[in-house]
Amino acid sequence: MTTATLERCCAHIGETAGMADHDRDLVHELSNRVDFVWRVDQYIANAEGHGELAALWRDLKRQELATIERMRSLVKTEIEAGCF
């Protein structure tokens, strides 16, 4: 693909934004972390019999749940401030 073709293909990406970049980043990352927590129980089960590894997954799950709660609170704050 030539540079001109690439520029033409991508010329309008990002012109219309549904929300500010910082809010989009927050929502996107919240979604990624929720996906991780959704999978981590399987990781814990897969690590059965491998104590340290299972403990790692359990610790990460606790940390992510705390981070998710913090992010949810920030989403609420952003909504209340009219940023969404």
Is residue 8 included in any domain, yes or no? no
Residue 3 has pLDDT above 90, yes or no: no
Note down the domain range covering 61.
18-80
Is residue 73 included in any domain, yes or no? yes
26-45 tens-digit pLDDT? 999 999 999 999 999 999 99
In this prediction, residue 1 carries a pLDDT of 67
In this prediction, residue 13 carries a pLDDT of 79
In this prediction, residue 65 carries a pLDDT of 98
Is residue 5 included in any domain, yes or no? no
Is residue 66 included in any domain, yes or no? yes
59-79 tens-digit pLDDT? 999 999 999 999 999 999 999
Domain count, the chain: 1
Question: DSSP secondary structure string, 34-57?
Answer: HHHHHHHHHHHHHTTT-HHHHHHH
Long-range contacts of residues 80-84, Cβ cutoff 8 Å, at least 24 apart: 83/19, 83/20, 83/23, 84/19, 84/23
Is residue 1 included in any domain, yes or no? no
Is residue 27 included in any domain, yes or no? yes
